[in-house]
């Protein structure tokens, strides 16, 4: 269905909202606007007891965020994959991790061989962020709860949970006889160590904010405790949280073995400072509590063996799981066709349509978005009001050809994203018009899916700003600028960057692309060495708050620096 073009009144509403509530603090020459209201909306939504009020508050926050045009959604993630008929029982979570632990194969060797994609960034539950990494962690560790094949959660390491009537106290009773893979006892105290480790700044976990609803004691420690038998875990929240149980199924909430972590070579320096928080996962047979244990690399494949200490080992699948990473989708596709892979997690874009109708093709929704984020403090906006800077950012975002990106570059049949909140979140209900809320576009979102419609609106904005006086469809020479663009070094990242580079050159905007390794990317993004950055966002739990809370002032994922310190307004701002 073709989306309608935004009307002048709708555009005015967007830019007015930007002027009232856009990112604060910025740079010399950008008039500051407080971001406190956004922080308060998210906090109120998290503690709202009424479901309708929760959604209403989140829609208000989403409007504020998108009105800044600091966030540019490109496409919603989908997970297209192929698997052999002999392979059964594989299922996925809403954040894209694949569960192989209950899978089975009719292959004679009884081995499941799968290509997942890029090499994982970490095997540590506190540090794993990519879908590949989360898949490894989900099959080698377990939490209080786990995801089932129907998309819900069910008890895993815990046997039951009691919640107080005020929703602030959770009492988890662990299963009897839980063991780590090394045979040592797994107890409630392991959760205390692990959760406090995630929120410890020296760990560098991106998931610290997920624990914000847990109350802190006078020393600032999470209010979690174990009974004398170490079989009951009590958690005290600072405010009710309707999705706390679901959070307990996310890998960041999985326990890790304290002795294994802290005794690893390279974990500490000579002064007992943590220098490599995931050093412990670099050794063979590091201690786990899930269905598999790591057994090393054979012929370029990461090998995982059945963990007979796993609480549900009797129902787990095959004895061996072999995972292949980083060879590229073309090579992996050849291996799959040659019979040496049972599962193909990345389908080459040039064969996607060809295999789409076959019995071995599958496609799942993932609650995630690939997007760009402008740094509000970028010097290219120097001398502009926050209103005009937001308009310029919106014009840039509208000019990007999302149709080309999803049709020619992505490999999983992705759809154009029209908001930072994934279209599939909450089963797709949140992103629908109705129930007292209407998006600017009738299909639910802040953009059209038509490149032509978006570009026509971009030209209108540029003319309104007085930056195209001669009407040639480009910024006049005196307004042209260069954007520094930070991205990863995968083929997809680079192809998308080059496509955007070509698009914006038509406007007279030069894009200087810096495609770097994960380690360099982490460093450069940490010091905000970019004007615009390319990122992927996964929703860790199935609620729009999972996305929107990342843009609060102090959030780890706030790459636009919304809510940074206020500065004096420049009276000569453009």
Among 122, 158, 155, residue whose Cα is nearest residue 140: 122
Residue ranges with strand state E in 403-531: 415-416, 482-488, 510-516
Alpha carbon of residue 454 to chain centroid: 26
- Report the pLDDT value the prediction gives residue 503, as an integer from 0 to 100: 98
Q: Which CATH number fits the domain 85-344, given the four candidates 3.30.420.40, 3.40.190.150, 3.40.190.10, 3.30.200.20?
A: 3.40.190.10
Q: With a cut of 70, say whether residue 16 has pLDDT above it.
A: no
Q: With a cut of 60, say whether residue 22 has pLDDT above it.
A: no
Q: Where are the chain's structural domains?
A: 8-77+366-551, 85-344
Cα→Cα distances 457→8, 13, 196, 448, Å: 10, 15, 49, 10
- Report the pLDDT value the prediction gives residue 17, as an integer from 0 to 100: 37
Contact of 99 with 138, CB cutoff 8 Å? yes
What mean pLDDT do residues 523-543 have?
A: 93
Among 505, 527, 506, residue whose Cα is nearest residue 516: 527
- Report the pLDDT value the prediction gives residue 353, as an integer from 0 to 100: 84
- Report the pLDDT value the prediction gives residue 31, as an integer from 0 to 100: 52
Q: Which CATH number fits the domain 8-77+366-551, given the four candidates 3.10.129.10, 3.10.105.10, 3.90.320.10, 3.40.50.1000?
A: 3.10.105.10
What mean pLDDT do residues 50-55 have?
A: 89
Bridge pairing between strands 532-538 and 482-488: parallel
Q: Label residue 435 by pLDDT band (50, 70, 90).
A: confident
What mean pLDDT do residues 35-39 have?
A: 94
What mean pLDDT do residues 54-62 have?
A: 95
Cα(549)–Cα(558) distance, integer angstroms: 9
Q: With a cut of 70, say whether residue 488 has pLDDT above it.
A: yes
CA-based radius of gyration for the chain? 24
- Report the pLDDT value the prediction gives residue 411, as an integer from 0 to 100: 67
Percent of the chain at pLDDT above 70?
92
Q: What is the pTM of this model?
A: 0.82
Cα distance from N-terminal residue to C-terminal residue, the chain:
39
Q: Label residue 161 by pLDDT band (50, 70, 90).
A: very high
Residue 293's beta-bridge partner residues? 305
- Report the pLDDT value the prediction gives residue 18, as an integer from 0 to 100: 38
Q: What is the pLDDT of residues 244-294, one digit of tens each?
A: 999 999 999 999 999 999 999 999 988 889 999 999 999 888 999 999 999
Cα(227)–Cα(192) distance, integer angstroms: 12
Contact of 570 with 409, CB cutoff 8 Å? no
Q: What is the pLDDT of residues 187-229, one digit of tens each?
A: 999 999 999 999 999 999 999 989 999 999 999 999 999 999 9
Contact of 322 with 303, CB cutoff 8 Å? yes
How crowded is the C-beta side of 530, counted as CA atoms within 13 Å? 28
Neighbours of 529 (CB within 10 A): 14
Cα→Cα distances 62→41, 343, 497, 556, Å: 10, 37, 26, 18
Cα(468)–Cα(462) distance, integer angstroms: 6
Q: What is the pLDDT of residues 399-421, one digit of tens each?
A: 999 999 998 898 677 899 999 99
Q: What is the pLDDT of residues 359-403, one digit of tens each?
A: 999 988 889 999 999 999 898 988 888 899 999 999 999 999 999
Q: Do domains 8-77+366-551 and 85-344 have the same CATH topology?
A: no
Percent of the chain at pLDDT above 90?
73
Q: Label residue 565 by pLDDT band (50, 70, 90).
A: low
What mean pLDDT do residues 493-506 have?
A: 97
What mean pLDDT do residues 517-523 have?
A: 89
- Report the pLDDT value the prediction gives residue 242, as an integer from 0 to 100: 84
Q: What is the pLDDT of residues 67-112, one digit of tens each?
A: 999 999 999 998 889 999 999 999 999 999 999 999 999 877 889 9
């Amino acid at each position: 269905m073709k989306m309608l073009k935004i009307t002048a009144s709708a555009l005015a509403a967007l830019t007015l909202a930007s002027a009232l509530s856009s990112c604060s603090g910025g740079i010399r020459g950008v008039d500051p606007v407080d971001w406190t209201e956004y922080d308060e909306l998210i906090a109120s939504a998290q503690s709202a007891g009424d479901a309708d009020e929760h959604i209403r508050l989140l829609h208000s926050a989403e409007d504020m965020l998108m009105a800044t045009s600091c966030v540019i959604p490109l496409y919603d993630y989908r997970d297209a994959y192929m698997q052999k008929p002999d392979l059964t029982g594989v299922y996925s979570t809403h954040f894209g991790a694949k569960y192989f632990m209950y899978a089975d194969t009719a292959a004679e060797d009884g081995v499941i061989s799968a290509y997942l994609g890029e090499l994982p960034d970490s095997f540590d539950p506190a540090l794993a962020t990519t879908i590949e990494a989360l898949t490894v962690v989900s099959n080698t560790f377990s939490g209080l709860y786990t995801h089932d094949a129907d998309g819900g959660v069910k008890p895993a390491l815990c046997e039951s949970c009691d919640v107080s009537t005020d929703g602030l106290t959770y009492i988890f009773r662990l299963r009897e006889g839980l063991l780590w893979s090394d045979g040592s006892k797994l107890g409630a105290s392991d959760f205390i160590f692990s959760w406090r480790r995630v929120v410890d700044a020296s760990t560098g976990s991106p998931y610290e904010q997920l624990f914000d609803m847990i109350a802190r004691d006078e020393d600032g420690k999470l209010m979690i405790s174990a009974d004398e038998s170490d079989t009951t875990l009590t958690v005290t929240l600072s405010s009710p949280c309707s999705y706390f149980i679901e959070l307990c199924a996310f890998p960041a909430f999985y326990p890790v073995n304290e002795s294994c972590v802290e005794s690893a070579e390279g974990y500490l320096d000579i002064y007992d400072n943590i220098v490599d928080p995931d050093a412990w996962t670099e050794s063979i047979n590091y201690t786990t509590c899930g269905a598999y244990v790591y057994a090393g690399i054979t012929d370029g494949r990461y090998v995982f063996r059945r963990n007979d200490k796993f609480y549900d080992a009797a129902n787990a699948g095959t004895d061996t799981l072999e995972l292949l990473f980083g060879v590229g989708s073309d090579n992996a596709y050849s291996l799959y066709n040659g019979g040496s892979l049972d599962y193909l997690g990345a389908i080459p874009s040039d064969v996607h349509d060809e295999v789409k109708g076959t019995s071995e093709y599958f496609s799942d929704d993932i609650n995630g978005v690939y997007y760009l984020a402008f740094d509000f403090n970028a010097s290219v906006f120097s001398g502009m009001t926050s209103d005009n800077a937001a308009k310029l950012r919106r014009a840039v975002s509208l000019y990007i050809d999302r149709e080309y990106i999803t049709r020619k570059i992505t490999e999983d049949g992705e759809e154009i994203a029209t908001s930072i909140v994934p279209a599939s979140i909450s089963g797709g209900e949140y992103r629908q018009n109705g129930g007292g809320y209407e998006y600017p576009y009738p299909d639910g979102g802040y953009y059209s899916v038509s490149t032509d419609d978006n570009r026509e609106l971009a030209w209108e904005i540029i003319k309104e700003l007085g930056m195209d006086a001669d009407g040639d469809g480009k910024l006049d020479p005196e307004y042209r600028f260069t954007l520094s663009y930070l991205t990863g070094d995968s083929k997809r990242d680079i192809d998308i960057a080059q496509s955007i580079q070509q698009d914006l050159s038509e406007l007279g905007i030069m894009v200087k692309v810096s495609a770097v390794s994960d380690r360099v990317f982490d460093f450069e993004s940490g010091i905000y060495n970019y004007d615009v950055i390319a990122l992927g966002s996964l929703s860790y739990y199935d609620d729009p708050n999972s996305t929107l809370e990342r843009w609060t002032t102090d959030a780890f994922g706030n790459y636009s620096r919304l809510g940074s310190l206020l500065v004096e307004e420049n009276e000569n701002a453009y």
